[in-house]
Amino acid sequence: MQTDDNWKCEVCEKIFDNYRKLNGHKSSHQPKRRGKIKREDGSLSSTEIREIRKNSNHDCLFCGKEFETGPKLGSHVRNCKGRPDYEKIKERQIATNQEINSRPEVREKISKSNKQFLQKNPHMVPYLRNHSSKKSFPEIVFENLLISNNIEGWKYNFSVGSYVFDFAFDKIKLDVEIDGSQHKLEKMVKRDIIRDEFSKSIGWEVIRIEAKDVMKKDLQDDIIIKIKQKIVELQK
């Protein structure tokens, strides 16, 4: 509850100067709050205590939505539509984005900073964090084609900088990409161009093969011939 410029706890009526402090304080009134469980009579086992902690919830001051942990609640509160200053926050965010977009030097500085961070922390690359380690069916078919034609020296999902190459012949710097239909989307085309330019700048050659072509038996021989010819070319 907000009173003038202060925030008041509805349970104990304690006053706080901002809603963040009040949100943190409110959790102290929850009997199942993490860290507040004590085994005074030894009636609860450690397993039961962990389960109670696991199921403890934190509710948003503005909309009442419950969360399992304080950090999740805090993340929600920052952009909760129930906040009285929600519109002002959105206006500030829009103004900040407009300022950044109007200053190319700022965008370039942010982009450079992000690239440097990802180069030092490749495990934080968004693609890698969300990427499934499972091969797609066209990739499995292509892998079997390589094996059945005795083509060796390749590595699957080979990391180079902030990118992951589908089938990389690292000794001769050849990257073979199996592109699904999503690579025809405008934003993916732009990303692939940037990626291929990066690969070429560090001495790699890129062969892109459409996934649908890998699945066509009448095109598989042509694909293998193309790969073999490029391998021979790069080995010279």
Q: What share of the chain is helix, strand, coil (3-state, %, to 5)?
A: 55, 15, 30
The domain segmentation of the chain, as residue ranges, is: 2-85, 90-123, 133-235
Look at the domain 133-235 and name its fold.
Endonuclease; Chain A (3.40.960)
Q: At 36, is the pLDDT very low, low, confident or very high (cuts 50, 70, 90)? A: very low
pLDDT for 32 equals: 46
The answer to whether 27 and 33 are in contact (CB under 8 A) is: yes
Percent of the chain residues topping a pLDDT of 70: 75
pLDDT for 214 equals: 94
- Which of the pair, 230 or 110, is modelled with greater confidence? 230
pLDDT over 70 at 147, yes or no: yes
- Give the length of the chain: 236
Q: If you average pLDDT over residues 161-165, what whole number do you get?
A: 85
